[in-house]
Amino acid sequence: MENWQEISEDIVESLLEDGSNPDILYEVEHHFVSEEFEKLEQAALAAFKLGYDVEDPAELELEDGSKIWGFDVVVEAELDAEVIMEDVTKLVEIATHCGVEYDGWGTYFQE
């Protein structure tokens, strides 16, 4: 398993060092992927049942031309690694239980 704590701290630190606004809520997108649509759908439903905003799944093309399925869970959160990690922990658990990959999270620079 990836070290999501360290990755989250690095992302937050980089955004803040670049001057991103620490005082607003950010739209944080958590990414899920799987080659099997049914498993991905199961993960989306599990996240929805926990109250998360789940975007529609989409077929994604990888660099090598192969295709996978993916969806995002969108959460408004402070730009704080500990706050974001609360969701990461829950979402990684869903991914593991459903047999899909939690592919990290991202957000955008905000002035």
Mean pLDDT by 10 residues, the chain (111 residues): 85 93 95 97 97 96 94 96 96 98 94 88
At residue 1, the pLDDT reads: 47
CATH number at residue 55: 3.30.70.970
Number of folded domains that form the chain = 1
At residue 2, the pLDDT reads: 66
Q: Is 107 inside a domain boundary?
A: no
Q: Which two tokens stand for residue 51?
A: 């109250």
Q: Is 80 inside a domain boundary?
A: yes
Q: How far apart are CA 55 and CA 48, in angstroms?
A: 10
At residue 71, the pLDDT reads: 98
Q: Is 36 inside a domain boundary?
A: yes
Q: In this structure, what is the dihedral angle of CA atoms 24, 15, 26, 47, given to the nearest 10 degrees?
A: -150
By C-alpha distance, which of 102, 80, 110 is closest to 30?
A: 102
Q: Is 109 inside a domain boundary?
A: no
